[in-house]
Amino acid sequence: MLILFVLIHLIKCQTDNIIYVHLIPHSHDDYGWLYTIDEYYSNRIIQFGQEYGNVRDILNSVYSEIQKNNERKYIQVEIGFLNMWWKNQNEEVRNKYKEMVQSGKIEIINGGWTMHDEATTYFEDIIDQMTVGHQWVKENLGVVPEIGWQIDPFGHQQTNAALFSQMGFNAQWFARVDYQDFDYRKQNKRLEMVWHPKEYEEDAYIFSAINYQHYSPPRNFFFERDQQVTQSNVHQKAIEFVNYFQQMRQSFQTNHLIHTMGEDFTFSHSEVWFDSIDLLIEYINKRSDEFGMVIQYSTPSQYLKEINKQQKKWPVNNHDFYPYADTQSAYWTGYFTSRPSLKGLTKESGRYLQAIRNIFSFEHISRRTQHFESYSDKIQQSLQYFEEQMAALMHHDAVSGTEKQHVVNDYIYRICDGYSKIRDYLNPLLREYTLQDISESDVNYQQCNWNVTASQCNITFSQINAKKPVLVNIYNPSVTRVINIRIKVPDANITVINQKNEFLQADLICSHPKNQKNCDLYFKDKFEGYSFQYYKIIFQDSKYQQKIQPMDIKSSQEQVVIELSKLSTLKVDLKKPSFLYQVWEAEEQSGLEAQKLKEYSFSLQYNFYYSSQNSGQSSGAYIFRPDNDQTHTYSEIKNITIYRGQLVTIVVLQGEHTTTQLRFYFNNFDKIVEVETFIDPINISDGKGKEIVMIVNTNLKNKKTFYTDSNGLSLQKRILNFRPTWDLKVHEQVSGNYYPIGSMIQIQDEDKKEQISVVNDRSQGGTSLKEGQLELMIHRRILRDDNRGVGESLNETDNETTFTSEFTQKYTKTTILQGFITLMITKRLTLKYLQISKLWKNLLLLLTKVSKIGIKNK
């Protein structure tokens, strides 16, 4: 008995020493980057002087080669591409493919429509893009993906980890983490961990693994380029292969190792991969005792099962992976801002999608319209189409702004095409609602959601100029709330009535410095949740709203004082310029409630960094690297104009290259300011790239600490020149402290118990480098490439808005150089889940021509 026991023990020890290598054949197929989606699918692809396979060839090749040997496996990641291929296959091929997926020979990994970016996306849009992909997989292949595979995105968010966990993923893999972090983890066997973002539910954790060698094969085993394995060299190659994995074993906790076999757009000649790997497997496994190794085709799920059996206690991680640097002067923090108009368009489109999906869902239940009865299939299809285009924009070289210009144009075309198709089904449905709700006969809606000037929205412009009323139908796709509405109108004697035919208080303000005919009509109302409310803008000579004239400011005058409510005043210091709120606030003092005058001040500055473009690392689409750490004044304020309305006070700062509107609403949530900035095209005639930042100065003492959101959700604590998980050596004082700001950046003063938050309308890069300062990068124009593959300088020139739905031609203009932020100064409160941008801007504003003045309800 004793002898037998020892023998068993010996055998067990020996098998434990054997290294099991899981090889993962894969191809990383970008859903647009240097080529458009369609080009990548079927064109001849030349990248970096090399010929690459197109996706059609890849999928065809894998499909036929994988069947030649029972052991062969493959993972498919991008569902958008799989869908394109699927459409061209017959039943037989589809069934065979499905069978291979169900038997685990092909594993669907990630399963999103594309592999989304994590830094510049909003959580709702991430959920949507994963849903679109997973639904496709479930419907067509009958499986549900279980593994996250974010091997190329340039940094990783807490929110994404939590979402992946909540989507039911068992694990996720990625590759790009800071080079210092990577070295530390590699030395300490911490490349595999349990990631538990603490702000989320207790069970929102996920096993997360960082690839050992990017997402490449071991060096010299890139079979489409390197030497293939043949009978004559197999001995040599086997030794090299085994040595590589013995080395790798040093950095991992268990004797199971996982490794990608493949790269960008590989496997179009999949036979060279499979044949070589077949030979290696056969050769090594026959001599597994001698080599101490067993190698096999595998998938991430299979690997996970094996390491799970070992019941290890994994290191726990509670932090995100930002910012990402691949070398000491290369922080990938430029793409947080690159192509600000595309980022704005993406954010807006996502909110629009939520709103219309909302309307269609309610219609599905209530079935109020003939239009829906007749077209529900078509509506479903066009909604699906819009969702797919939106999903495409989530790609990590789409919304990130790191693709070539012609590819951006294609993305914009796609989203606008999707928008116009769904809009064409929405408008008639709303028309029927209107006919049912109010007594109006000639209703024909237009949506001017993205127009920048009044004249662009033809319906209000032509109708009001012809002294005719406009019916405004506003949909609130969220909970009941009071909202300030702003509508672009021409200069006219107009006012607003509500559904009870009551006049509403409204301000007509024509503050455009160059175009006095471009005006905004402001009114405020309470909006019921998830419903429509009707208003009319009417032309009236007697009871019109007086146009607000600019305040008379003398050139010697130093400040303007404006009463915002009974308890609050705004002081505008005209010289700096800066802003001071004085507010009487209730405060508890020794058990008694007392009113105390509190002061909050801030100022705005537009500065810029010169982009590094001389030696070493240049700034570019991905990387932000300033020439030095200093900012220079970009746009000195030349002129201040103030409009004091009854609902809103507007301060217009006219700078050299910027126009800024600050909007202070009365009796609202007092200390909120909306800031809207227009920037002229960045002048590059001096041959230098420039990166423009907006700086908010406050008197808070934040002690090198600030907070940034994660995909619109939980706030992350950031400390200057510090990373929570390793001992950081900073080589870039500015860009090494930049973080993605999807919705909010905030600083707090622990002693004063105050905080200031900046809520932005699109993803940007941001930081807080000096005491009391918040910095957001709002635009960049760069004349060099940063050498990370895109091969084109980020040289955006246009300042025109492009989001238009009428596509007779492809639009090439891509910059809406308009940024909208909201500054909130509040007493300290911790916002766990933000979703703040939802609060501000996702109304659906519908306009129609009508002839009658009043609204007759039915």
Q: Which of 39, 226, 432, 491 binds ligand NAG (CB under 6 A)?
A: 491
Helix (H) or strand (E) holding 316: strand 316-317
Q: How far apart are CA 561 and CA 573, in angstroms?
A: 9
Cβ-based nearer residue to ligand NAG, 292 or 550: 550
Cβ-based nearer residue to ligand NAG, 799 or 814: 799
Q: Which of 541, 552, 727, 751 binds ligand NAG (CB under 6 A)?
A: 541
- Residues in contact with ligand NAG, shown as a per-residue x/- string from 42 to 81 under the rule CB under 6 A: ----------------------------------------
Cβ-based nearer residue to ligand NAG, 290 or 541: 541
247 binds ligand NAG (CB under 6 A): no
Count the Cβ atoms, other than its own, within 10 Å of residue 549: 10
Cβ-based nearer residue to ligand NAG, 487 or 715: 487
793 binds ligand NAG (CB under 6 A): yes
CA distances from 775 to 319, 692, 728 (A): 23, 10, 22
CA distances from 55 to 71, 267, 313 (A): 23, 9, 40
Q: Which of 150, 268, 698, 799 binds ligand NAG (CB under 6 A)?
A: 799
Give the shortest CB-508-to-ligand NAG separation in angstroms.
10
458 binds ligand NAG (CB under 6 A): yes
Nearest to 230 by CA among 282, 265, 180: 282
180 binds ligand NAG (CB under 6 A): no
- Residues in contact with ligand NAG, shown as a per-residue x/- string from 381 to 420 under the rule CB under 6 A: ----------------------------------------
Q: Which of 89, 456, 582, 773 binds ligand NAG (CB under 6 A)?
A: 456
Q: Are residues 679 and 764 in contact, defined by beta-carbon separation less than 8 angstroms?
A: no
Cβ-based nearer residue to ligand NAG, 457 or 548: 457
- What is the residue type of 838? K
Cβ-based nearer residue to ligand NAG, 277 or 470: 470
Cβ-based nearer residue to ligand NAG, 25 or 350: 350
615 binds ligand NAG (CB under 6 A): no
451 binds ligand NAG (CB under 6 A): yes
692 binds ligand NAG (CB under 6 A): no
Stretch that binds ligand NAG, among 81-89, 195-203, 339-347, 802-810 (CB under 6 A): 802-810
157 binds ligand NAG (CB under 6 A): no
Tokens representing 585 are: 């606030």
852 phi and psi angles, rounded to 5 deg: -85, 155
Tokens representing 92 are: 């037989």
Nearest to 714 by CA among 233, 163, 283, 278: 163
462 binds ligand NAG (CB under 6 A): yes
Nearest to 351 by CA among 845, 843, 713: 843
Q: Which of 257, 398, 448, 647 binds ligand NAG (CB under 6 A)?
A: 448
Helix (H) or strand (E) holding 678: strand 672-679
Cβ-based nearer residue to ligand NAG, 286 or 467: 467
Nearest to 818 by CA among 768, 739, 760: 760
Cβ neighbours for 343, distance < 8 A, ≥ 6 positions apart = 120, 337, 399, 401, 762, 763, 764
Stretch that binds ligand NAG, among 131-139, 573-581, 668-676, 795-803 (CB under 6 A): 795-803
Cβ-based nearer residue to ligand NAG, 10 or 853: 853
Q: Which of 62, 119, 457, 756 binds ligand NAG (CB under 6 A)?
A: 457
β-bridge pairing 74-76 and 754-760: unpaired
Tokens representing 660 are: 């800024």
Cβ-based nearer residue to ligand NAG, 241 or 803: 803
Q: Are residues 647 and 506 in contact, defined by beta-carbon separation less than 8 angstroms?
A: yes
Cβ-based nearer residue to ligand NAG, 93 or 783: 783
Tokens representing 227 are: 């030497």
Q: To 10 degrees, the CA torsion angle through 280, 281, 283, 284?
A: 100
557 binds ligand NAG (CB under 6 A): no
Strand partners, 523: 485, 506
Cβ-based nearer residue to ligand NAG, 153 or 689: 689
Q: Are residues 777 and 734 in contact, defined by beta-carbon separation less than 8 angstroms?
A: no
Footprint on residues 749-788 left by ligand NAG (CB under 6 A): 783
Q: Are residues 539 and 521 in contact, defined by beta-carbon separation less than 8 angstroms?
A: no
Stretch that binds ligand NAG, among 306-314, 385-393, 589-597, 798-806 (CB under 6 A): 798-806
Cβ-based nearer residue to ligand NAG, 713 or 846: 846
Stretch that binds ligand NAG, among 135-143, 364-372, 429-437, 452-460 (CB under 6 A): 452-460
Stretch that binds ligand NAG, among 190-198, 225-233, 450-458, 468-476 (CB under 6 A): 450-458
3-state DSSP of 414-447: HHHHHHHHHHHHHHHHHHHHHHHHECCCCCCCEE
Cβ-based nearer residue to ligand NAG, 325 or 794: 794
90 binds ligand NAG (CB under 6 A): no
Tokens representing 367 are: 């079935």
Residue count, binding to ligand NAG (CB under 6 A): 30
Cβ neighbours for 514, distance < 8 A, ≥ 6 positions apart = none
Q: What is the Cα Rg of the chain in Å? A: 30
First vs last C-alpha separation in the chain: 93
CA distances from 105 to 72, 172, 708 (A): 7, 19, 42
854 binds ligand NAG (CB under 6 A): no
Q: How far apart are CA 302 and CA 322, in angstroms?
A: 30
- Residues in contact with ligand NAG, shown as a per-residue x/- string from 629 to 658 under the rule CB under 6 A: ----------x-x-----------------
CA distances from 28 to 145, 264, 274 (A): 17, 5, 17
Could you list the residues that contact ligand NAG (CB under 6 A)? 446-451, 456-458, 462, 491-493, 513, 541, 639, 641, 678, 680, 683, 685, 783, 793, 795, 797, 799, 801, 804-806
